[in-house]
Chain A
Amino acid sequence: MRWLLILLGSLALAQPVVTPGWVRLVPPVVKDTAAYLTLENRGKTPLRLVGAETEVAERVSFHQDHREHRGGQVVLGMRPLPYLDIPPGGRVEFRPGKYHLMLEGLKRPLKAGEKVALVLRFQDGSRLKVILPVEMR
């Protein structure tokens, strides 16, 4: 298993556990991309993800996919979320079609195989750093 997580926050508050996913390699003409991972709350108190940052993008936002049917066909979109709550024992899967971390305004084109560091920020002030590989998938 590639458990590439490093805890930056206090270990006593270490409720969030991240299973790394990947940062999507998009054509260089695109200035936004998505990051995927699974975030688990192994603690006994609710966890609120309030922000994230990375050196490779201007900012990071959370989005949930939006799906509706029109004219018998599937219409897809996304909706920004100000924060994400994960109940004790719960998990949030950031994956295509569900949630994604949007890396907005890439400062440079990413390369396949490179590693991107992402820091997740929680309401209690703790931070969690995760390293994600850049992959075209």
Chain B
Amino acid sequence: MKGKLLLPVLLVLALVGVAYLLLPKGSHAFYGTRLLNPKPVDFTLEGPQGPVQLSQLKDKLVLIFFGYVHCPDVCPTTMLALKRAYEKLSPKEQERVQVVFISVDPERDTPEIADQYAKGFHPSFLGLTGSPETIQEVARTFGVYYQKTQYRGPGEYLVDHTATTFAVKEGKLVLLFSPDKVEETPRVVDDLRALL
């Protein structure tokens, strides 16, 4: 009886051993939500100096947040979190990271306003917007929802919007930070370093 069990047990142990050896060493456990199938993404939006295509930035890790300028609570909370994380990186690392703010309120936010807003948090940040149709298309690509609420008149309304931060590497969406997770600066920084 004992002899018959020995072989299968040894076999299982050997398999476990092989599996352990095959595990990637030093692999980073991501705090943000990783996409199992990184999704190719691209867009062309308006920046302060003309059109900006996401694929132009493909040698950088791009962090994208969708929001709007007339947003004093939700948007600055995430933009400040991105600023904190960005400033924890070394100058060398910072060169390889681009934070992009995309306005989902093109009616009020011109490319200049969106960019001034982004640069108000850090001079290296970039603010973009586009026509309502283009913004809609880009939002769909990233699964971003936005909707005007509390409409009081032209230029007087609030906007509900997906408050996720999207990380794009080499043209592919690879990682998401929820608005709660993005505030955990040390863990966000670890994730960014693992992606760089």
Count, chain A residues at interface, CB 8 A: 32
A24 within 8 A of B: yes
In the complex formed, the residue of B with least CB distance to A109 is B120
B56 within 8 A of A: no
8 Å CB interface, B122-176 against A = 143-145, 149-150, 158-164, 176
Known: A63-B73, A77-B149, A79-B150. A29 touches B117 (CB 8 A): yes
Question: Which residues of B have CB within 8 Å of A28?
Answer: 116, 120
In the complex formed, the residue of B with least CB distance to A98 is B73
Question: Which residues of B have CB within 8 Å of A137?
Answer: 80
**Could you say which of A8-16, A30-38, A41-49 contacts chain B?**
A30-38
Question: Which residues of B have CB within 8 Å of A32?
Answer: 70, 72
B117 to chain A, nearest CB (A): 5
B125 to chain A, nearest CB (A): 10
Question: Which residues of A have CB within 8 Å of B77?
Answer: 96-97
Q: Give complex CA distance A65, B180 in Å.
A: 14
A1 within 8 A of B: no
Question: Which residues of B have CB within 8 Å of A24?
Answer: 72, 76
| A26 contacts B76, C-beta separation under 8 Å | yes
Known: A73-B176, A76-B179. A30 touches B80 (CB 8 A): no
Chain B, interface SS category = mixed
Which of B70, B74, B162 touches A70 (beta carbons < 8 Å)?
B162
In the complex formed, the residue of A with least CB distance to B181 is A74
Q: How many A-B residue pairs have CB under 8 A?
A: 91
Which of B69, B159, B164, B176 touches A29 (beta carbons < 8 Å)?
B69
| B80 contacts A74, C-beta separation under 8 Å | no
Question: Which residues of A have CB within 8 Å of B76?
Answer: 24, 26, 34
A94 to chain B, nearest CB (A): 10
With most chain A CB atoms within 10 A of its CB, the pick from B69, B74, B113, B145 is B74
B58 within 8 A of A: no
Which of B72, B145, B163, B178 touches A26 (beta carbons < 8 Å)?
B72
B31 within 8 A of A: no
| A74 contacts B178, C-beta separation under 8 Å | yes
Q: 20 A-B pairs, CB-CB below 8 angstroms?
A: A26-B120, A28-B120, A29-B69, A32-B70, A34-B76, A65-B74, A73-B143, A73-B145, A73-B176, A74-B163, A74-B164, A74-B178, A75-B160, A75-B163, A77-B74, A77-B158, A97-B74, A97-B77, A102-B72, A136-B80
What 3 pairs between A and B have smallest CB-CB spacing? A27-B120, A77-B160, A34-B72
